[in-house]
Amino acid sequence: MLKPETMFEKVWAAHQVVPETADTPAIIFIDLHLTHEVTSPQAYSVLRERGLKLRRPDLTIATMDHATPTRTSQVFGGAPITIDSAANQIRQLEKNCAEFGVELLGLQDARRGIVHIIGPELGITQPGKTIVCGDSHTSTHGAFGALAFGIGTTEVGHVMATQCLLQNKAKTLAIEVKGKLNIGVTPKDLILAIIGQLGVSGGTGYVIEYRGEAIRAMTMEQRMTICNMSIEAGARAGMIAPDDTTFTYLRGRPRAPKGANWDAAVKYWRTLPTDSGAIFDKTIEIDATSLVPMITYGTNPGMVVPINGNIPDHSGDPVFDAAMQYMGLTPGQAIKNTLINVVFIGSCTNGRLSDLRAAANVLKGHQVAKGVTLLVVPGSQEVKREAETEGLDQIFIAAGADWRESGCSMCLGMNGDTVAKGQYSVSTSNRNFEGRQGVGARTLLASPETAAASAIRGCVTDPREFF
Ligand code: SF4
């Protein structure tokens, strides 16, 4: 009988071109290379200098997201893009894709959006694939049972030239989420709680497989939120076994397999889940039933507390002390009721339709607090269209929010959507590092529900007060 294998081991074995040795990493084949305007220019320059072509342009796709404006007038050409570096990156990507024969979802393409949102939407993110992108949150695609991870600029060039990558095989970490999430507790709260428990380097060297009742009960969009933040625990990737929820999501997507190919694909995908009896290098358990909404207070996603909790006191720890100074918060203070200036709802973590629905559900019939800016940025143009069809945009606008075109926007502020120095932002994105949303910006990561409730009250608010 064959040795039981984890899902990661199956996907790895299916893509290993050359196994690793004591001296050299393995070489693995890459099924899908997602690219965008920020991490690809140097790689194209190297290809050009060395006279190389893309090995598999058919397995490569480009979108524009990180630096793109979110104001309609700028996206659709009525007004110039005001940041020179952003305009240069956009024009450079157009030029590179045309020269190297890469399909580009350009600035005005109806399918454009954040790279980790358009892959699933198009149906090119599929179970069992190896997927890479020059962006840390490529782990998002692991929600489909793909082995997906971020790569550096040099590696982007390697994949472009060879469609392969040098990789050391990761260890496996199972996170068993027991029980169901309570009402008002979201997948974002769960992943923040997991990172809080694991720490920001607790997943280093591992590929995480999220398992258990709470995970199986999630929609694909919710699973993507979970896998998206795997990197924030230091993990190489996060994966969730494909099941009927996965297949239902993918069926009929523009680039999902069709007809007999679909049947064959599903047959293969059903073989991917971890075999009974397979051994993980490490297993931890999380009790979903004990969780409440979570929010960060510091400068990494592991600095997180229950929304009705107090900031811990780790005074004397230089990382904690620096975080407290940067955030202008005090050890021991309750995080709830902290006054805020900005709320950002969007990003590849929480910029999907269900996230916007959840935020709109809280905001409906309310007004954003005086002095608070609420920016709502759909994760893709498709999400924007769907939200507008449902009238979600009207709920946001009526509440006093700013409703924008899709992009990464205030997740990292490369396009000019930034938080001012010293201001507090409740953000549905995935990183609260110093300066992430703007120089001196103070970011508190939370769910769309918490973000919306906080926008209404003008301070950190438990969203369950609105249910
Ligand atoms: S939304 Fe943020 S984390 Fe996601 S791809 Fe864009 S910049 Fe990266």
Ranges of each domain in the chain: 7-167, 295-466
CATH classification number, 295-466, choose in 3.20.20.70, 3.20.20.30, 3.40.47.40, 3.30.499.10: 3.30.499.10
What are the tokens at 61?
């796709």
Cβ of residue 411 lying under 6 Å from some atom of ligand 1: yes
- Say if CB 2 and CB 121 are below 8 A apart: no
In the chain (467 residues long), the average pLDDT of successive 10-residue segments reads: 92 98 97 95 95 98 97 92 93 97 97 98 98 97 98 96 98 98 97 97 97 98 98 98 98 98 98 98 98 98 98 98 98 98 98 98 98 98 98 98 98 96 98 98 98 98 96
Q: Please name the amino acid found at residue 321.
A: D
Of 139, 225, 347, the one to substitute when testing ligand 1's pocket (max ligand atoms within 8 A of C-beta) is: 347
Cβ of residue 232 lying under 6 Å from some atom of ligand 1: no
Nearest to 189 by CA among 387, 436, 462, 459: 462
Instruction: Point out the ligand 1 atom lying closest to the alpha carbon of residue 137.
Output: 3
What are the tokens at 421?
């120095």
Q: How far is the CA of 308 from the centre of ligand 1 (A)?
A: 28
| Residue nearest atom 2 of ligand 1, based on CA coordinates | 411
Nearest to 392 by CA among 344, 357, 428, 346: 357
Sorted by sequence, the CB contacts under 8 Å of residue 263 that are 6+ apart come out as: none
Q: Please name the amino acid found at residue 159.
A: V
| Residue nearest atom 4 of ligand 1, based on CA coordinates | 348
Instruction: Point out the ligand 1 atom lying closest to the alpha carbon of residue 116.
Output: 5
**pLDDT given for residue 1 in this prediction:** 64
Sorted by sequence, the CB contacts under 8 Å of residue 438 that are 6+ apart come out as: 413, 418, 419, 420, 421
Same fold, 7-167 and 295-466: yes
Q: How far is the CA of 339 from the centre of ligand 1 (A)?
A: 26
- Say if CB 337 and CB 459 are below 8 A apart: yes
Domain 7-167 has CATH 3.40.50.300: no
The dihedral formed by the CA atoms of 409, 411, 412 and 416, expressed in degrees to the nearest 10:
30
**Residues 42, 51: Cα–Cα separation, whole Å:** 14
**Residues 193, 202: Cα–Cα separation, whole Å:** 13
- Say if CB 314 and CB 330 are below 8 A apart: no
Instruction: Point out the ligand 1 atom lying closest to the alpha carbon of residue 351.
Output: 1
Q: How far is the CA of 66 from the centre of ligand 1 (A)?
A: 7
Q: Please name the amino acid found at residue 397.
A: I
**Residues 169, 191: Cα–Cα separation, whole Å:** 24
Query: SS3 sequence, the chain?
Result: CCCCCCHHHHHHHHHEEECCCCCCCEEEECCEEEECCCCCHHHHHHHHHHCCCCCCHHHEEEECCCCCCCCHHHHCCCCCCCCHHHHHHHHHHHHHHHHHCCEEECCCCCCCECHHHHHHHHCCCCCCCEEEECCHHHHHHHHHCCEEEECCHHHHHHHHHHCEEEECCCEEEEEEEECCCCCCCCHHHHHHHHHHHHCCCCCCCEEEEEECHHHHCCCHHHHHHHHHHHHHHCCCEEECCCCHHHHHHHCCCCCCCCHHHHHHHHHHHCCCCCCCCCCCCEEEEEEHHHCCCEEECCCCCCCEEECCCECCCCCCCHHHHHHHHHHCCCCCCECCCCECCEEEECHHHHCCHHHHHHHHHHHCCCCCCCCCEEEECCCEHHHHHHHHHHCHHHHHHHHCCEECCCCCHHHCCCCCCCCCCCCEEEECCCCCCCCCCCCCCEEEECCHHHHHHHHHHCECCCHHHHC
Task: Report the predicted TM-score, pTM, of the whole model to 2 decimal places.
Answer: 0.98
Distances 246 to 32, 253, 365 between C-alpha atoms, Å:
18, 12, 34
Instruction: Point out the ligand 1 atom lying closest to the alpha carbon of residue 65.
Output: 6
Backbone angles phi, psi at 46, to 5 degrees: -65, -45
